[in-house]
Amino acid sequence: DILKFLKKMDFDFIIAETSGIGQGNMAITEVSDLSMYVMTSDFGAQSQLEKIDMIDFADFIAVNKADRRGAQDALRDVSKQYKRSRKIFDDSKKVPVFLTQASQFNDGGVNQLFFAIADLLAERKVLPPVETEFRRKVLAAEEHIIIPAERQNYLAEIVATNRKYKIRVKELAAKASKLGALRTLADDLKLEPKYIDQLSFEYKKDFEAQEIKALENWDELQKTYAQEELVFKVRDTEIRQKLVSHTLSGTKIRKVVLPKFRDWGDRFQFLKMENIPGEFPFTAGVFQLKRADEDPKRMFAGEGTPERTNRRFHYLCKGEKAHRLSTAFDSVTLYGQDPDPRPDIFGKVGESGVSICTLDDMKKLYSGFDLVNINTSVSMTINGPAPMILAFYFNTAIDQQVAKREAELGRTLSKAEWDETSKKTIQQVRGTVQADILKEDQGQNTCIFSINFALKMMGDIQEFFTKSNIKNFYSVSISGYHIAEAGANPISQLAFTLSN
C-alpha cells in the first residue's frame, strides 16, 4: 500500500529496503521491478545457500564485508548457487554477484555493482547509458585499504607479544633471585668454585648479555643518580643537568630515585618493566631528563583575526624564555572553508578560534616570533585541513628565514641558497599538528575528506617528513579527550585512542 501511494508521487525511482528477511520470505520481489539481496559471508556451510530463496529471485547480489576472512570463498559459492538455481552451466558467464565493502570509500565492488544496476536501467530505457570514459575512470581508481586483511589482528599480536614478554620477565626474575643469592652466599657456602660456576651458568643461560650486565652494574647506576648532577650526551654534545631541586622550605627533591632493592629478581623486574627515564621500556619517558630551560606549558590562544590572536600570543609570552604557542582555529577554518558573507559561515568567523585561510593570515598570526628558535614551539589543533595549514606554517617559517638572510646579505637569494634555507628551516621548526582524523570521525566530526584519503595524506606527510629529515616537528598527535567529550567512559576512551 505504501509503494502504491509513493508511485502516485513524482519520483523517478523508489528504493524499498526491507529489514532482514531471513532465509525465506521473498514477497518484496512481487512488488518491485528489480531486487537486490545484500548478504555477508557468514551464511555457514555451503548447503545453507540452497535454503536462501532470495538467491533464486534477486537480480543483483551483494556479498558485503569483503574485508572479512573467507569473503572470496563466499563470493565463489554464492556465484555457483546463483548459476545452479538458474541452470547456467557456462562457467565463463559472468553473474551479477558482487563482493563489496560498503564501509570503504570508492570501493571497487560497490562501483561495479552501481554500474551493473545503471546498465540494466539503461537496457530498460529508464536511464541513459553510462559514458565509457567515466566508467573506465571510476573503475581504474586506486583503492586505499586502511588495514590489509592479513594485518587485521595486529592489536591482538601486540597484546600477545606484551603478555609473552611479561611471562618471560617473571620467569627470569625467579632465576635472577637465585643468581644474586648464589653470588652473595658463595663464600659462606664453602662450595667448590667449579660447582658454583656450573650453577651460575645454569641460571644465566636464558638471559641476554646486556641483561646480566645491567644487573651487575646496578650499584653503579644507583651512584650515578645519587650525584648532584647528571652528565649525558645528545648528538655528540655533552649536557650537564642538576639531579636535585629544592622546595621553598629547602627540602631536597631528587629528580630520579631508584628503588632500594637488594634482591636481584626485584632489580631485574624493575629494569625490564619500569627502568630509569630514557631507557627501555621507556615507562618514565623517552628522554633522560626534561629540558632544563623550558617549562612544559602551552600559551593557548585563538580568537577573531590573525592580528588579534598574535597580540594575545605576545601578551601570554611576555617575560617567558620559551615561547610554546598553542593555536585554536575557528570552525570555519576547521572545515576548510574561507570566510564568507553566507549566514551559516559569517557568524562563525573568528569564533572560538582564529580565522586562517591564506598564507598571509598565517604570517600575521606568528609575526614577531622566531619560528626556528630552539625555544619556540607551535602546536596547531586542526584535523581535516591539517596538511594545508601545515603547508602555510612551513612556508611562513621559510619566508621568515629567507627575509632574514636576504637582509643580512643585502641581496635576493639565488635558487640554490633559497633551497638550502628552506631545507634547513623545516628541519629546525618545532611543534605539533594534531591531524588525528580518526578521533574526528568518532568524536568531533570536522571531516572534509573521506577517512581513507585523509589517512593517505597523513601517510604522505610522514613520508615527506622522513625524506626531508624533519625530526623536531610531529606530523600527528593521537588525541583521546575529544572521544571522552563525545560521551566515552575512561575505558572506552583509552581503548579507542590506543586502537587509533
For residue 26, pLDDT beyond 80: no
Q: Which residues of 74-83 are buried (b: 16+ CB within 10 A; e: fewer)?
A: bbebbbbbbb
**Structure confidence at residue 25 (pLDDT):** 63
**C-alpha cell belonging to residue 150:** 592479513
- 66: which DSSP letter? T
Torsion over CA: 130, 133, 134, 140 (sign): positive
Q: Specify the higher pLDDT residue, 350 or 23.
A: 350
Using alpha carbons, list the distances in angstroms from residue 190 to 175, 179, 182: 21, 16, 11
SS3 494: helix
Q: Using N-to-C axis directions, what is the helix angle for 209-216 and 154-189, rounded to 10°? A: 50
| Alpha carbons 63 and 76: distance in angstroms, whole number | 10
Q: Would residue 478 be called left, alpha or beta, if left means φ above 0 and alpha means ψ between -120 and 50 degrees?
A: beta
115 close to 127: Cβ distance less than 8 angstroms: no
Q: What Cα–Cα distance (Å) separates residue 279 from each residue in 77, 186, 269, 282?
A: 54, 32, 14, 5
pLDDT greater than 90 at residue 307: yes
In this prediction, residues 287-306 reach a mean pLDDT of 83
**pLDDT the model gives residue 21:** 56
CB 434 within 8 A of CB 381: yes
pLDDT band at 148 (very low <50, low <70, confident <90, very high): confident
Q: Has residue 167 got a pLDDT over 70?
A: yes
Phi then psi for 247, rounded to 5 degrees? -80, 175
Q: Which residues of 130-141 are buried (b: 16+ CB within 10 A; e: fewer)?
A: eeeeebeeeeee
Asked if pLDDT for residue 293 goes beyond 90, the answer is no
- Residue range 69-89: mean pLDDT, rounded: 89
pTM: 0.61
Mean pLDDT, residues 158-175 taken together: 95
Where are the strands (E) in 243-295, listed by range?
A: 244-246, 252-254
Binning pLDDT at 50, 70 and 90, where does residue 144 land? Answer: low
Of all helices (H) and strands (E), which one includes residue 246?
Answer: strand 244-246
The most distant pair of C-alpha atoms in the chain lies apart, rounded to whole Å, by 104
pLDDT greater than 50 at residue 23? no
Q: Which of 475, 380, 381 has its CA nearest to residue 426?
A: 475
The three grid cell numbers given for residue 266, joined into one nine-digit string: 626485584
Tell me the CA end-to-end span of the chain in Å, nearest whole number: 47
String of DSSP letters for 347-413? TTTTSSSB---SHHHHHHHTTT--TTSTTEEEEEE--TTHHHHHHHHHHHHHHHHHHHHHHHHTSPP
Q: Where are the alpha helices (DSSP H) in 191-242?
A: 193-204, 209-216, 218-226
Answer whether residue 22 shows pLDDT above 60: no
Query: Which pLDDT does position 30 carry in this prediction?
Result: 84
Phi, psi dihedrals of residue 102, rounded to the nearest 5°: -60, -25
Sheet holding 431-433, edge to edge: 299-301, 323-328, 376-381, 431-433, 473-474
What is the C-alpha separation between 278 and 232, in angstroms, rounded?
11
Minimum mean pLDDT range among 128-137, 187-196, 215-224, 251-260: 187-196
Check if the beta carbon of residue 307 is closer than 8 Å to that of residue 301. no
In angstroms, rounded to a whole number, what is the distance separating the alpha carbons of residues 247 and 22?
A: 72
Quick one: pLDDT band at residue 294, thresholds 50, 70, 90? low
pLDDT for position 10: 83
- Please check whether residue 331 is in contact with residue 385, taking contact to mean a CB–CB distance below 8 angstroms: no
Q: Is 80 exceeded by the pLDDT of residue 114?
A: yes
For residues 368 and 310, the answer to whether their CB atoms sit within 8 Å is yes
Q: Is the pLDDT of residue 81 over 70?
A: yes
- Predicted pLDDT at 490: 92
From 455, 302, 446, select the one nearest 384 (Cα to Cα): 446
What is the spatial distance between Cα 342 and Cα 388, in angstroms, rounded to a whole number? 23
Measured between alpha carbons, how far is 365 from 432 in angstroms, rounded to an integer?
16
Place of cell 583509552: 494
Confidence check: pLDDT of 55 > 90:
no
What does each C-alpha distance from 15 to 11, 29, 33, 491 come to in angstroms?
10, 12, 10, 41
Q: What is the model's pLDDT at position 461?
A: 95
Per-residue pLDDT at 185:
85
Higher pLDDT, 391 or 1: 391
Nearest-angstrom CA–CA distance, 33 and 57 = 12
- The pLDDT value given to residue 236: 78
pLDDT, tens digit, for every residue of 422-467? Answer: 999 999 999 999 999 999 998 888 889 988 899 999 999 999 999 9
Residues in the chain: 500
